[in-house]
Amino acid sequence: MNSEGKIGVFEAISFVSVITVNKIFFTSVGSIISQTGTAAWYTTLISCVVTVVVFMLVYMLLKRFPGKDLAAIFEIVAGRFIGKLLILAISAYCVFNAGSTLREFVEMIKVYNLPYTPTSLIISLFLVASLIISRYGFQAIARLCAICFIPSMAGLVFILLLSANRFNFNLLNPIGGHGLEKTIMFGLSRSSAYNEFLLLAFTVNALEGHRDYKKAALTSILISGVVFSISLLCYLSIYGYTSGSESISGVFELSRSIYFNRYVQRLESVFLFIWVISSVITTTASYYISMLLYCKTFRIKDHLPILLPFAILVYIVAILPQSMQEVTQKNITFLRQYSLYIMYLIPAAILLLAFITRKKGDIADA
């Protein structure tokens, strides 16, 4: 496949942060609140801490093999055959992630904005945009994220600040939610919601070195954790547990309910712009990485001929669920809670195998 190009640390931070934070705009808010109650705002911090631990394991693996991305390391440590199978498994996961995330967005936008527009039409339009962006490679996607990162974060902060006059922190009681044990267990399983830093590990050669990867990945994980926690805290302090757990998109509901004065109200149009752009980027990132891994597996140098076939695969995944309930209860639950068995355990197992077999790169990491 063609070179991923070169990107800076800020572009890498933007890439991971945008596609991770985007989950706060979807059904994640209601799901976390329904599972952990008023403890939702710090449950996500538990997930963040677990992800930082996994990141350090991945960073140790990358340092052990200087100049190699995660896909190449899989083949070196596990052997060419097993390594290729693992890479293909993650490629398939990325296709599933792209299709499921796209369908989740489409179902929500049909509820709030486009109730009569055919689902297939919205999915097709999004995939056309993803296909066009992906044509220009990883560097173009990262730079697009860098352009959208600050406006997206500023828009979210703007919405939360304008909602501040409605905060009632008494709604955060009881502070323990549904119980400490359930909070911790859900926080552990929910850590896979932060797994986008692994996508950057497959394109680590686009950065100047492993230290740049460490800065970018760790910073983006911490940014995402803080944004998730503050957003959930603000949302709970307005809607509480009962109403908060029933919302389809918590942040969208928050933007619709803003009333600062007669001239500043109903700011969902601002949120909608952020929502659409972030969703396109998120779908594009998973869609492109799935092609990238497929090309690395079979030593394909040009990804352009497989743009359409992979777009069709994503479309199939997106169109298969029969309803929004099926999307959230099956697809999204798997992505947010159980995908850690793929995305976290595979790199951890490869690191352990590398230590056991004493395999490492030829030169030390400067």
Render pLDDT for 177-214 as a digit per residue (tens, 0 to 9): 888 888 999 999 889 889 999 999 999 999 988 899 99
Does the pLDDT at position 35 exceed 80?
Answer: yes
Q: Which of 37, 87, 257, 245 is nearest to 166 (CA)?
A: 257
- In this prediction the pTM is 0.93
Q: Which of 331, 330, 292 is nearest to 310 (CA)?
A: 292
Residue 284's contacts (CB-CB under 8 Å, 6 or more residues apart) are 129, 130, 133, 134, 141
Phi and psi at 208, nearest 5°, equal -75, -20
> What does the pLDDT average to over 344-360?
93
3-class SS at 3? coil
Tokens describing residue 119: 């689902």
pLDDT of residue 269: 73
Q: Which of 173, 283, 189, 297 is nearest to 236 (CA)?
A: 173
Task: Tell me 361's DSSP state.
Answer: -
For residue 362, how far is the Cα from the chain centroid?
33
Domains and CATH numbers, the chain: 9-357 (1.20.1740.10)
pLDDT of residue 8: 93
Amino acid identity at 190: R
Residue 11's contacts (CB-CB under 8 Å, 6 or more residues apart) are 142, 143, 145, 146
Q: What angle do CA 73, 301, 128 make, to 5 degrees?
A: 105
pLDDT tens digits, 130-182 = 999 999 999 999 999 999 999 889 888 888 888 888 889 898 988 888 888 88
Tokens describing residue 357: 């077999």
Alpha-carbon distance of 114 to 112, in angstroms, equals 7
Does the pLDDT at position 3 exceed 60?
Answer: no
pLDDT of residue 132: 96
